[in-house]
Amino acid sequence: MTVSGSELLDRAKSWLAQDPDPQTREELAGLIDAGDTAELAERFAGTLQFGTAGLRGELGAGPMRMNRAVVIRAAAGLAAYLKGTGQADGVVVIGYDARHKSADFARDTAAVMVGAGLRAAVLPRPLPTPVLAFAIRHLGAVAGVEVTASHNPPRDNGYKVYLGDGSQIVPPADAEIAAEIAAVGSLHDVPRPDSGWQTLGDEVLDAYLARTDAVLAPGSARTARTVYTALHGVGRDTLLAAFARAGFPEPVLVAEQAEPDPDFPTVAFPNPEEPGAMDLSFATARRERPDLVIANDPDADRCAVAVPDAAAAGGWRMLRGD
């Protein structure tokens, strides 16, 4: 159905009145003042759809973008779902990566949970998504949220939801949470206190690392030499700590990609499966001559491995499940 220009402007002005973020308010006000109905139509043609993968989309103002207003609605819907399923006294664990706005979205989620009467615990800094999934079960939480767009381009962010078993949601929970999100009214009616949630220490990460010991056979060889890239994400420190605990040689880092950087400046897409994403890793490997190359995507829930192969282009071959 075609929406008239005046209706688009009305929708945009209503959204603007509730938007808590000065940055996206300024962005949207500029579109309204310019009468940019084409851009407004793109942003207000509907809403980001919540599903088993949560939410994911381009950052910006409006209901078809990822922003604080969309996140607050999603958090309020999740809180309503948890309360409606008898989990009103539970803990919700919140993690986040190093993308643009991730820390803001995590803080908003914690505030909404506390405002709804639940308890919220936020991981101490940007950490891999598997740490969040582990923390849910380790702490006996009723749900978890990870703010990340995984291996999407830098313009995107996202919102993954987990229930108390530590796995991402599946039907019918996704549709039930989506219905609660759709039922959220004005953001002015969503309580968001300035405090009241817990910021976790490193105890959860230490417990996660302790569990990594269990994947190794006692007395097994620990001699493999590796090159590692975090692809500008959050995996480096956790991987280095796990290797040190296990007694493996310290991995050689791909220096250009070792630090978290939400702009992912050395790759077109921060996904180790994408063409070109591993070029710097393979260049480092040709210099260092390791046994393996290991790569994570930015939120470190995807792992890629390459092995030496004289027959492969550049001397390294990616291992694939197919």
Task: Give residue limits of the domains in the chain.
Answer: 1-45, 50-58+66-204, 216-318
Active site amino acids: 150
According to the model, what pLDDT value does residue 2 have?
63
**126 preceded by a cis bond (ω within 30 of 0):** no
Tell me: the pLDDT tens digits for 288-317?
Answer: 999 999 999 999 999 999 999 999 989 999
**Least-confidence region, from 35-39, 114-118, 176-180:** 35-39
* CATH level 3 topology of 50-58+66-204: Alpha-D-Glucose-1,6-Bisphosphate; Chain A, domain 3 (3.40.120)
**What's the mean pLDDT when you consider all of the chain?**
96
Rounded mean pLDDT, 99-104? 98
Rounded mean pLDDT, 142-165? 97
Distances (CA, A) of 83 to 65, 86, 142: 27, 5, 10
The pTM of this model reads 0.95
What's CA 45's distance to the chain center, in Å? 25
Helix axes 5-18, 22-34, angle to 10 degrees: 160
Distance separating alpha carbons of residues 270 and 278, to the nearest angstrom: 10
Domain 216-318 homologous superfamily, CATH: Alpha-D-Glucose-1,6-Bisphosphate, subunit A, domain 3 (3.40.120.10)
Distance separating alpha carbons of residues 261 and 11, to the nearest angstrom: 34
- The Cβ of residue 247 has, within 10 Å, a number of other Cβ atoms equal to 11
Does 322 score more than 80 pLDDT? no
The partner residues of 35 in beta bridges, in order of sequence, read none
Q: Do domains 50-58+66-204 and 216-318 have the same CATH topology?
A: yes
Helix (H) and strand (E) counts in the chain? 10, 11
Confidence of residue 129 (pLDDT cuts 50, 70, 90): very high
Tell me: the pLDDT tens digits for 39-84?
Answer: 999 999 899 999 988 999 999 999 999 999 999 999 999 999 999 9
According to the model, what pLDDT value does residue 3 have?
64
